Chains A and B, each alone.
Chain A
Amino acid sequence: MKQIVAVLTVIAALVVFWYVACIPMNIKGVLTEQERAGAEVQPPSAKDRRDMGEFGLVLNNSFAIPATWEQDRPRLPAPHQVAVELWETTVLKKITSKRSLIYHGWVTLSATMLGFAIGTGLGILLAVGIVHSRVMDLSVMPWAIVSQTIPIIALAPMIIVVLYSVGIQGIIPKAIISAYLSFFPVVVGMVKGLRSPDAMQLDLLRTYSASRSQGFWKLQLPASMPYLFTSLKIGIAASLVGAIVGELPTGAVAGLGARLLAGSYYGQTVQIWSALFAAAILAACLVGLLGVVERAVLKRMGMAQ
C-alpha cells in the first residue's frame, strides 16, 4: 500500500511538473493568439513581447495561463492533450485507418519482432562461437563493441540505401537495423552466462570425462538462461528503437517513426508526443511480456524459487 502511494506520488509530481512547464513554453504563442482574438495583453507590442522573458510574460498575463494547456499546436502539449490524442488514434480510430496508432504500431512492431529474432539468433550464435573459440573471442568481440559505438542514426540511411540498391526494401531493412541494435546485449549477456559455471563445475564434468558438447548442453546453456533473459529485455527495447530509427530516413509512410516524422514536418506536436508515448508503452509491454516468459521458463527449470 505504501509503495502504491509512493509510486502515485511520483507520477503526480511528474504530471504537475509537466503542466507547469507548459505555461512558459506556450505563453508566447498563446498571447499572439489572444491578441489576434482581441484580448488585452501586456506588453501589447509583439516586438516587446519577443524580447521579454517567458516568466515575465506569464506574470503580466496570468489570465492566459489556462489557454497554454489548450492550444492546437503547442510547443509543449499538456498531458491531457496527449492522452486524448492517444485515445482518439487508438480506440476511436479504425485499425485500417492511416491515422490509427494501432496500425502504425503494428507496422513498427512487426519490424521489431523480426529484427529481434534475427538479433537474438545472431547474438546467441556469436556468443557460442566466442566462448568456444579463442580466435573468435579475439576477432569478433572487438568488432561487436565497435559496431555499437557508431551512431545508428548515421548508419541507418546507409543500410537502407545499400539494401535498396540490391532490391531489398520494406520490412527487411528496418529489421536489420533493429537486429543491429539488439544483437549486442545478447552477445554480451550470453557470453557472460555461458562462462558463468565456476572452475569446480568444469572440474566435475572433467571427472566424468564429459565431451565439450555435453558440457555445453548440460551445463553452460542452462546456466546461461537467467543471463539470456536479462539481455533479451534490453535487446527488445533496443530493437524497437532500431525499427523506429529505420523508419526515419526513408520517409516511410507507416510506422511509429513515420508518425514522428510527419508530426515534425507539420508542427503537430501532439501527434509527435502521442507517437512517443505509444512507442514507450509498446516497449514496456514487450519487456513486461518477456518478464512473464522469463518467470515461466525459470520456474519450469526450477531456478525461480
Chain B
Amino acid sequence: MNTESTTQPVIEARQLDLTFQTNDGPVHALKDVDLTIDKGDFVSFIGPSGCGKTTFLRCIAALETPTGGTLTVNGMTPDEARRNRAYGYVFQAAGLYPWRTISKNIKLPLEIMGFSAAEQQERVKNVLELVDLEGFGEKFPWQLSGGMQQRASIARALAFDADILLMDEPFGALDEIVRDHLNEQLLALWARTEKTIGFVTHSIPEAVYLSTKIVVMSPRPGRITDVIDSPLPKERPLDIRDSPEFIEVAHRVREGLRAGHGDDV
C-alpha cells in the first residue's frame, strides 16, 4: 500500500518517551528510544520485565500513546497505520473465542474489516495452510493443544495480510519442545511471506535464533542498551544454535542485558 516502502524504514522511532502516571507517581516506561526497522527485518526485543519492550510494541500498534518523540509506521502515525491495517498483533495468550471454531476465529478480523464471504473463505484456507493447521478449521479452540492454539492466533493475525507482524511473547507460555518447533515454523513463515516482524521475548536463544536484529533493553527507565545486527544467515536450521557465531551473538546479548541491569542484580 506504500510505494516508497522499499526506501523508507517501516518503523522509525526518534527520541521516543512514554511516562505512565500511576498512583505511586510517574513511571518512565520508555526513554529516548531511537530505532529504525527496515522492511523484511525480523526484530527481537529482549530484556527483563519492566524494560518497556512490550510497551514499545504497543506504541507501534497504537495501543499506547507516547508522551514524547516521534514514531512512524509505514511513514504514518501509528493510529493511521492501524486504520490502514498495517500490522497484525499476536498476544502472549492465543485469546481465541471459545464459541467460534478455528476458521471462525480467523474470520473475526475479516468480518470486522468487511471482507466478502468468499474472500474470507479463501483467506482462511490460505493462512491455515501457512501455519500448518489444514483440517483443523472446524475444530473448537479447546480441542487444540496450546501450541496449535497459538498458531491459530498467528493465522488470525496474518489473515488480513498486513505487512508487519507484531508478536508479544507469543510462545512464552509454551514448553521448550513446542517452542523450538514453533520458532522453526515462524522462520519458514517469515521467509515465505517476507513480513516485517517485531518479536518480544524473554529468551536469549529464541531472540538470537529468530532475529536479523536484536534490540537489548533495560529497565528504569526503559531504554535501548544495544542493537545487534545478526551475522547469521537467513537459512537457519535448529542446530545453528551450536555454531560459534550463534554462541557469540548470544554472549553479546547476555553482556548487554547484564550491563543494562547495572547494580540491580
Q: Which residues of A contact B (CB under 8 A)?
A: 200-201, 203-210, 214, 218-219, 222-223, 225, 301-303, 305
Chain A residues with Cβ below 8 Å from B87 are 207
New A-B contacts (14) at CB < 8 Å, excluding given A204-B95, A207-B61, A209-B83 = A200-B93, A203-B89, A203-B91, A204-B89, A208-B108, A208-B113, A210-B112, A218-B112, A222-B99, A225-B99, A301-B99, A302-B99, A303-B98, A305-B142
What are 13 A-to-B residue pairs whose CB atoms are below 8 Å?
A204-B89, A204-B91, A205-B112, A207-B88, A209-B82, A209-B112, A214-B112, A218-B97, A302-B98, A302-B99, A303-B98, A303-B99, A305-B142
Q: How far is the CA of A305 from the CA of B143 in the complex (A)?
A: 9
Chain A residues with Cβ below 8 Å from B61 are 207
Q: Which residues of B contact A (CB under 8 A)?
A: 58, 61-63, 82-83, 87-89, 91-93, 95, 97-101, 108-109, 111-113, 140, 142
| Minimum C-beta distance from B190 to chain A (A) | 20
Q: How far is the CA of A39 from the CA of B17 in the complex (A)?
A: 100
Q: How far is the CA of A174 from the CA of B100 in the complex (A)?
A: 40
Q: How far is the CA of A205 from the CA of B113 in the complex (A)?
A: 11
Chain A residues with Cβ below 8 Å from B140 are 302
Q: Which residue of A lies closest to B143 (CB)?
A: A305
Q: How far is the CA of A206 from the CA of B89 in the complex (A)?
A: 10
Chain A residues with Cβ below 8 Å from B113 are 208
Chain B residues with Cβ below 8 Å from A223 are 97, 99
B82 in contact with A207 (CB, 8 Å): yes
Instruction: Please tell me which one of the listed residues A200, A218, A301 contacts residue B91 in the complex, with CB atoms under 8 A apart.
Output: A200
Q: Which residue of A lies closest to B99 (CB)?
A: A301
Q: How far is the CA of A287 from the CA of B21 in the complex (A)?
A: 48
Q: 7 tightest CB-CB pairs across the interface, nearest first?
A: A301-B99, A302-B140, A207-B89, A210-B112, A208-B109, A208-B112, A222-B99
Q: Which residue of A lies closest to B110 (CB)?
A: A208
| Minimum C-beta distance from A229 to chain B (A) | 13
Chain B residues with Cβ below 8 Å from A214 are 112
| Minimum C-beta distance from B122 to chain A (A) | 19
Q: Which of B98, B111, B140 has the most CB of A within 10 A?
A: B98
Chain B residues with Cβ below 8 Å from A219 are 97
Chain A residues with Cβ below 8 Å from B112 are 205, 208-210, 214, 218
Chain B residues with Cβ below 8 Å from A200 are 91-93, 95
Q: Which residue of A lies closest to B166 (CB)?
A: A207
Chain B residues with Cβ below 8 Å from A206 are 62-63
Q: How far is the CA of A159 from the CA of B217 in the complex (A)?
A: 67
Q: How far is the CA of A81 from the CA of B82 in the complex (A)?
A: 73
Q: How far is the CA of A208 from the CA of B107 in the complex (A)?
A: 12
A218 in contact with B98 (CB, 8 Å): no
| Minimum C-beta distance from A302 to chain B (A) | 4
Instruction: Please tell me which one of the listed residues B63, B88, B111 contacts residue A203 in the complex, with CB atoms under 8 A apart.
Output: B63
Q: How far is the CA of A222 from the CA of B82 in the complex (A)?
A: 26
Chain A residues with Cβ below 8 Å from B97 are 218-219, 222-223
| Minimum C-beta distance from B142 to chain A (A) | 6
Q: Which residue of A lies closest to B79 (CB)?
A: A209
Chain B residues with Cβ below 8 Å from A301 are 99
Chain A residues with Cβ below 8 Å from B62 are 206
| Minimum C-beta distance from A228 to chain B (A) | 13
Q: How far is the CA of A209 from the CA of B142 in the complex (A)?
A: 27
Q: Which residue of B lies closest to A218 (CB)?
A: B108
Q: How far is the CA of A302 from the CA of B141 in the complex (A)?
A: 9
> Beyond A200-B93, A214-B112, is A207–B99 a contact (Cβ under 8 Å)?
no
Chain B residues with Cβ below 8 Å from A201 are 95
A302 in contact with B91 (CB, 8 Å): no
Q: How far is the CA of A204 from the CA of B89 in the complex (A)?
A: 7
Q: How far is the CA of A301 from the CA of B97 in the complex (A)?
A: 10
Chain A residues with Cβ below 8 Å from B111 are 218
| Minimum C-beta distance from A118 to chain B (A) | 28
Q: How far is the CA of A207 from the CA of B109 in the complex (A)?
A: 9
| Minimum C-beta distance from B158 to chain A (A) | 13
Q: Which residue of A lies closest to B108 (CB)?
A: A218
